[in-house]
Chain A
Amino acid sequence: MSSILSLSHVGMRYPALDGSGAVHALEDVNLEFRPEEFVVALGASGCGKTTLLNVIAGFLRPTSGSIALHGHPITGPGRDRGVVFQKHALLPWLNVVENTEFGLKLQGVGSRERRAIARENLGLVGLSEFEGYPVYQLSGGMQQRVGLARALTSNPEILLMDEPLGALDAFTRESMQELILKVWARAKKSVFFITHSVEEALFLATRLIVMSPRPGRITHTYDLNFWQRYFDLGDARKIKSHPDFIAMREEVLSIIYGEEAAA
């Protein structure tokens, strides 16, 4: 399968705050996104995963290397790459369905057509009954679901999710993980997902990339199938407590802690 998005030798250096040299946020990152792939980036804070997402989204310009979408270089943000933020970033003056259809409105899609698409996506995230609600009256988990529906409604090539569950409580987080997998399977999108939760990463990823700090780079890559087992068994707890899952979790944790100790 051909790749949707490819990064080659991407590097990012910030000038250091005290003016002495530069901070290597990313160094020599090579990554390919294939259709319908769920790539999860995992790493301790400071490993450059958010920088990587911002570079892909076009919010930051890498200082070296190149990023191409279907062979065309990326120069800035665009609707081919939908973003779900850690803090929802919804517009409080619009209600749930208006937020969801906002991207289509920007593109000049007629109100009836965009409303229909928005409703479909709200249904996908289970918020059909809340379409007329003001977004500031929703819980954090529901706001993130609106954020997901909004990103889907613009019909991007790839969904970029920047620790979308980071601000949620543990129970909401687990149910959101299952919801995200279901939405991903239905929408058939490529996803790039950032997290610092090992369990979350293992559960969701078709491909896991482990990143390490100073300089931020990809150190390990795993192809995983726990998501597949979830669709076969339908029980997230059973998968997360399975010996295979625990063994994998310990392996990844030892990588991350090993790097911490070495650093």
Chain B
Amino acid sequence: MSRAIAALFSRRAPHGVEQFGAPGTGNSTLISVCTIAAILAAWWLVSHFELIKPLFVPPPELVLAKFARIACTEHYLERLQVLLGMRGEASAVCEGFSEHALHEHTLWSLYRVFSSFFLAVITAVPIGIAMGTSRIARGVFDPPIEFYRPIPPLAYLPLTIIWFGIGDFGKIFLIYLACFAPLAISARAGVRSVSIEQIHAAYSMGASRQQVIWQVVIKGALPEILTGMRVAIAFGWTTLVAAEMVAAKAGLGVMVLNAARFLATDIVFLGIIVIGMIAFAFDLMMRALERALVPWKGRM
């Protein structure tokens, strides 16, 4: 075991500017591409030779076909042709799943996740900053946040239904709570990460407390806040399916849950892949935002 771990550390001669012996150096993109290809190949092989029944692992082409059906690709392609005057009338019907096409499910879920996330950002970040900068705010907010933070959202889901009913507000509230704690905690940690020298420097240039908070502390906390946003949105997606368990008409979570009820494993796969890809795309966007907003991260 220890030898296997040791093998992960670079003992080979360093390439270019690499440091000898630094663990895990080098580019890993090619390896990641190979991993993805291997997973897809394994999926295809396993389902094709029916090593596992399609009920458990549907073949990729079936999932792709389901994608075309639920996304109504044919229907929308025909409507596009009508629009371009290449066709008189669209004949293909849009079936969708659970009475909604894939994009409707997706938009509903995006709406729920991002409105919750947005509300959480505009409330949790100021509260976290207040907790970092004020003894009173820390005293007030620390107990409730630390109390509810480790509770799984499924545990307080019934409460949100009792309080807010089965409408969208309860769902958004549930996801909001999931996003809130990591954001508040990261904003607070960000405030703490600002060096005392930077704060002292500002004071000895005549800054007021307000100026120190606005021009030094908040900007210095930004890298941590952005990391917190990445963590929070992941929590949001995690909670989405739980939120949509109750009386939602459309949404990716609804789609997956309904599909599971009919043992439509291919649709479950499809829903999971769509959620994963959206979350991944958002994370890439956040990383780009990080590079643009806090290029000094890890370099100061």
Residue positions of A touching B, CB distance < 8 A: 57-59, 76-79, 81-83, 85, 87-93, 102-103, 106-107, 134-136, 150-151, 154, 156, 160
- The reply to whether B211 and A92 contact each other, CB–CB distance below 8 Å, is no
A87 to B196, CA, bound (A): 11
B216 within 8 A of A: yes
Contact of A57 among B198, B204, B294, B299 (CB under 8 A): B204
Which residues on A sit within 8 Å (CB–CB) of B197? 85, 87-89
Which of the residues A59, A106, A136 comes within 8 Å of B205, measured between beta carbons? A106
Contact pick for A106, options B206, B222, B295, B296, CB 8 Å: B206
Which A residues touch B295, using CB under 8 A?
134, 136
Other-chain contact of B296, A83, A89, A134 (Cβ < 8 Å) = A134
B68 contacts partner chain A, Cβ-Cβ < 8 Å: no
CA distance A87 to B202 in the complex (A): 14
- Shortest Cβ gap from A240 to chain B (Å): 30
Q: Are A91 and B205 in contact (CB under 8 A)?
A: no
Is residue B201 contacting chain A, with contact meaning CB distance below 8 A? yes
Question: How far, in whole Å, are A151 and B206 apart by their CA atoms in the complex?
Answer: 11
CA distance A176 to B206 in the complex (A): 27
Q: Is B207 an interface residue (CB 8 A)?
A: yes
Cβ contacts under 8 Å, B211 to chain A: 106
Query: At the interface, yes or no: B219 with Cβ under 8 Å from chain A?
Result: yes
- Count of chain B residues near A, Cβ 8 A: 23
- Chain A residues with CB under 8 Å of B222's CB are 93
Is the beta-carbon distance between A81 and B204 smaller than 8 angstroms? yes
Determine the distance from Cα of A77 to Cα of B211 in the docked complex, in whole angstroms: 14
Q: How far is the CB of A196 from chain B (nearest CB, A)?
A: 18
CB distance from A221 to the nearest CB of B (A): 26
Separation in Å of the B239 CB from the closest CB of chain A?
Answer: 33
Interface string of B257-300 (1 = CB under 8 A from A): 00000000000000000000000000000000000001110011
- Assess whether B20 is interfacial by the CB under 8 Å rule: no
Q: Are B206 and A89 in contact (CB under 8 A)?
A: no
The chain A residue with its CB closest to the CB of B298 is A136
Nearest neighbor of A92 in chain B, beta-carbon distance: B296
Closest 4 CB pairs of A and B: A103-B205, A79-B206, A89-B197, A92-B296
Closest CB-CB distance, A22 to chain B, in whole Å?
23
Q: Please, could you name 24 A-B residue pairs with CB atoms under 8 Å apart, sorted by A?
A: A57-B204, A59-B200, A59-B203, A76-B203, A79-B204, A81-B204, A83-B200, A87-B197, A89-B195, A89-B197, A89-B200, A90-B198, A92-B300, A93-B222, A93-B296, A106-B205, A106-B207, A106-B215, A107-B206, A135-B296, A136-B299, A136-B300, A150-B201, A151-B205
Instruction: Report how far A79 CA is from B216 CA in the complex, Å.
Output: 16
Nearest neighbor of B297 in chain A, beta-carbon distance: A92
CA distance A85 to B198 in the complex (A): 9
Q: Closest CB-CB distance, B193 to chain A, in whole Å? A: 12
- B201 contacts A85, C-beta separation under 8 Å: yes
CA distance A204 to B294 in the complex (A): 38
Q: Which of B202, B203, B204, B294 has the most CB of A within 10 A?
A: B204
